[in-house]
């Protein structure tokens, strides 16, 4: 019985790690794309890819697409997030574009593609207030950002939608949205029709540690109960 516990300990430990790694990569905001396949989303533009994941400390999201690299002062990455609390179903205003939202957004994020403007916003019950901190990194056509889950109110899950926006007069449009069904690609001033729900998962290291420790303690107690521990000494 003592010997049979050993392979089960390693099997459960490895399975715990693999299951967790498919949910969330161990993410660092450094311009290197290490989002897992489970955190990767198609956008309404087939040449762009979106990313989103959350753990107990941070909400991470990003894009891969040409306008990360080539976009100018009229191109923006916009994201809306909801923690389940009181928020707004009307988004931020960009020139003549201001979307309606499919959920009550409590927070928003804006990044200008030329890299000279970044800000986060929180709904105060009457208006969007700037000043929410974030971490961002851009490398070629890959962009990623993170927001503190504490700043978001420590929710168990986050309603989320993100897209690109061009605010140049005469050519205004919104595009590369994910989820890809939220609006038709290239729409002017679209109403956002769908969103994602991103569940916050434990950090891989802590999840693995407690999972493995639990199995080890279980085996140890079983051996003591059966008297096998002393017989092996």
| The pLDDT of residue 229 | 47
CA separation (Å) from 193 to 18, 33, 52, 88, 102?
Answer: 34, 28, 18, 15, 6
- Domain ranges within the chain, ordered by starting residue: 24-200
| The pLDDT of residue 202 | 74
Count the neighbouring beta carbons within 10 Å of the beta carbon of residue 196. 18
Asked whether the beta carbons of 173 and 184 are under 8 A apart, the reply is no
pLDDT tens per residue across span 195-210: 999 999 876 554 444 4
CA atoms in the 13 A half-sphere facing the CB of 99: 29
Cα distance between residue 126 and residue 129, in whole Å: 9
| The pLDDT of residue 125 | 96
| The pLDDT of residue 21 | 37
Q: What is the mean pLDDT of each run of 10 residues along the chain (233 residues)?
A: 49 42 65 96 98 96 98 98 98 98 98 97 98 97 98 97 97 98 98 97 56 48 51 54
In CATH, the architecture of 24-200 is: Sandwich (2.60)
| The pLDDT of residue 17 | 41
Cα distance between residue 52 and residue 171, in whole Å: 29
CA separation (Å) from 50 to 4, 33, 137?
Answer: 45, 11, 15
């Amino acid at each position: 019985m003592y010997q049979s516990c050993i392979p089960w300990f390693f099997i459960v430990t490895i399975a715990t790690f693999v299951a967790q790694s498919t949910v969330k990569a161990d993410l660092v905001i450094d311009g290197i794309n290490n989002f897992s396949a489970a955190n990767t989303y198609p956008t309404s533009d087939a040449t762009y890819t979106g990313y989103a994941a959350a753990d107990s400390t941070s909400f991470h999201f990003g894009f891969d697409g040409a306008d990360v690299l080539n976009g100018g002062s009229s191109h923006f990455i916009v994201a809306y997030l909801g923690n389940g609390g009181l928020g707004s179903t009307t988004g931020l205003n960009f020139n003549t574009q201001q979307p309606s939202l499919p959920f009550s957004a409590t927070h928003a994020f804006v990044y200008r593609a030329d890299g000279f403007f970044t800000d986060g916003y929180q709904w105060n019950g009457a208006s969007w207030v700037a000043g929410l901190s974030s971490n961002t990194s851009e490398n070629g056509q890959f962009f990623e950002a993170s927001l503190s889950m504490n700043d978001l109110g420590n929710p168990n899950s986050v309603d989320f939608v993100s897209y690109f926006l061009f605010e140049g007069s005469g050519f205004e449009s919104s595009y590369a949205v994910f989820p890809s069904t939220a609006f038709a690609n290239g729409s002017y001033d679209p109403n956002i029709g769908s969103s994602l729900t991103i569940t916050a998962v434990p950090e891989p290291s802590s999840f693995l540690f407690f999972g493995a420790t639990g199995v080890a303690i279980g085996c140890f107690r079983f051996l003591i109960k059966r008297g096998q521990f002393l017989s092996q000494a």
